[in-house]
Amino acid sequence: MIDTQLSRRSMLGGLLGGTAGAGLAGSAAWARRPRPLRVLIATNEPWGTYHVAPLLDEALRRRWDLTQLVPDYAGVGPGDPVQVATPADAPEADLLVVTGAGDWPADCAARFRRLPLNASALAYQLPVEAPRARELRRHVRLFTASSPAEGRAFADYFGTRRPVRVVGSPQTDDLPRRRPERDLVLVLTSVTRPDQTGDAAPGTELLLRSAERLAAAGKRILVGLHPREDRSLWEQYEISTVPSVIASACAEAAIGIPGTVFPLVAAVGTPLVGCVDRELSVPDYLLSVCSATITDPAGAADAVDAAELPDPATLSDALGPVDGSADRLLDAWRERTPAGRAAALSGAGSQSV
């Protein structure tokens, strides 16, 4: 079951704005204002802080403390804006959020088993029950996803028929205005080689050859690198210095290995072509937003020239609600976290993995 209803607070906030909220807030209401939450987050990609980063602005506005759990500090880049901690160093917290049922989130849930547990899809998962989903799902208080389609896949991944609340993607909270430049094509990479953070997706060779065909046809190539992609593979082209969603606003079309970013690029208004290696496995909704998919680089130029956006119903199903998504997600976390406890639970006294 996919729950697409927004909370009453979110609806009122959007309709009335901050002034009305301030007018309703008397001293008694202020006294009942809940204190900021302290949240630990464990992802399937243990050092992949890029999944948490889009939540930072809303967390800062609320004065929440978000900490991503990592196995060690070696995989964290200098200056990363996301606060990280190992389980041994984790601060006191009110809630644990897992973004998947991989080994790292499952191990963290076992260690911090006294904390309330939520599961939120911040990246796509295959609609096949994960090996460790069963040990997690009975403890999960709330499931969330960005869209109805992602919610269906996330429910299958966790092997549950419980409702999945649709909150939208925080990356749609500030979409750029589209100003396409003539003959500019955005190439969206995935990850060519697996590493300690996560797996890879097949298709880089197909995408490289497709980029070559496009360049030969007179297209200007701009590469949107996945955060874990090998930069050296793409240095013959211009590499975007801004996130791919922002970069897509300048492109006439985008071509790439289908991933979480695809519905977001379509939301900007940029049509997509999917490069689909025969070994690639992704949820159908990521393919549904593609104007076409290719398995041979010879078809790249024609597919890009003919690319068009998906119909509104298809895009809505894959994308979910736009604007206010980080607010909806953090509201959902708050609603399912016990309030007024005498003291927050600490990871220090929890069982080791």
Indicate which CATH number applies to the domain containing 29: 3.40.50
Is residue 179 assigned to a domain?
no
**For 269-274, what is the mean pLDDT?**
98
pLDDT on residue 338? 83
Do 133 and 235 share a domain, yes or no? Answer: no
Look at residue 107 and tell me whether its pLDDT is greater than 70.
yes
- Using the Cα atoms of residue 238, residue 242, residue 246 and residue 249 in order, give the sign of their dihedral: negative
Write down the H helix ranges in 116-260.
Answer: 133-137, 148-158, 204-216, 244-247
State percent of the chain over pLDDT 70.
Answer: 82
Is 178 inside a domain boundary?
Answer: no
- My answer on whether 225 and 337 are in the same domain is no
Of 163, 177, 98, 167, nearest to 133 by C-alpha is 98
Cβ within 8 Å of residue 231, ≥6 positions away? 225, 239
Check if the beta carbon of residue 101 is closer than 8 Å to that of residue 133. Answer: yes
Q: Are 25 and 88 found together in one domain? A: yes
Range of the domain at 108: 2-173+323-348
Q: Do 133 and 193 belong to one domain?
A: no
How many other C-beta atoms are found inside a 10 Å radius of the C-beta of residue 340?
Answer: 7
Is residue 353 one of the residues assigned to a domain?
Answer: no
- Phi, psi at residue 103, to the nearest 5°? -60, -45
Cα-flanking dihedrals φ and ψ of residue 44, to 5°?
A: -65, -25
Q: Same domain, yes or no, for 99 and 160?
A: yes
Q: Over the stretch 146-164, which tens digit does the pLDDT of each residue have?
A: 999 999 999 999 999 999 9
d(CA 283, CA 260): 10
Instruction: Check whether residue 225 and residue 259 sit in a common domain.
Output: yes
Calpha distance 169→146 (Å, rounded):
5
Q: Is the pLDDT of residue 52 over 70?
A: yes
**Is residue 26 scored above 50 in pLDDT?**
no
Question: Are the C-beta atoms of 83 and 67 separated by less than 8 Å?
Answer: yes
**Do 279 and 142 reside in the same domain of the chain?**
no
Task: Dump pLDDT digits (tens) for 306-327.
Answer: 999 999 999 999 999 999 999 9
pLDDT digits (tens, 9 = 90+) for 192-230: 544 454 444 557 889 999 999 999 999 999 998 877 667
Tokens at residue 117, please?
């547990």
Would you place residue 14 in the very low, low, confident or very high pLDDT band (cuts 50, 70, 90)? very low
Q: What is the pLDDT of residues 228-258, one digit of tens each?
A: 667 788 889 999 999 999 999 999 999 999 9
Residue 26, classified by CB atoms within 10 Å of its CB into exposed (0-12), middle (13-18) or buried (19+), is exposed
pTM of the model: 0.84
Same domain, 125 and 190: no
Residue 136 has pLDDT above 70, yes or no: yes
Q: What is the pLDDT of residues 115-127, one digit of tens each?
A: 999 999 999 999 9
Q: How confident is the model at residue 165 (pLDDT cuts 50, 70, 90)?
A: very high
Packing angle, helices 8-24 and 325-335, rounded to 10:
90
Q: Are residues 17 and 99 in the same domain?
A: yes
Tell me the pLDDT band of 35, cut-offs 50, 70 and 90: confident
Is residue 114 in a domain? yes
Look up residue 194 and give its two tokens. 């697996």
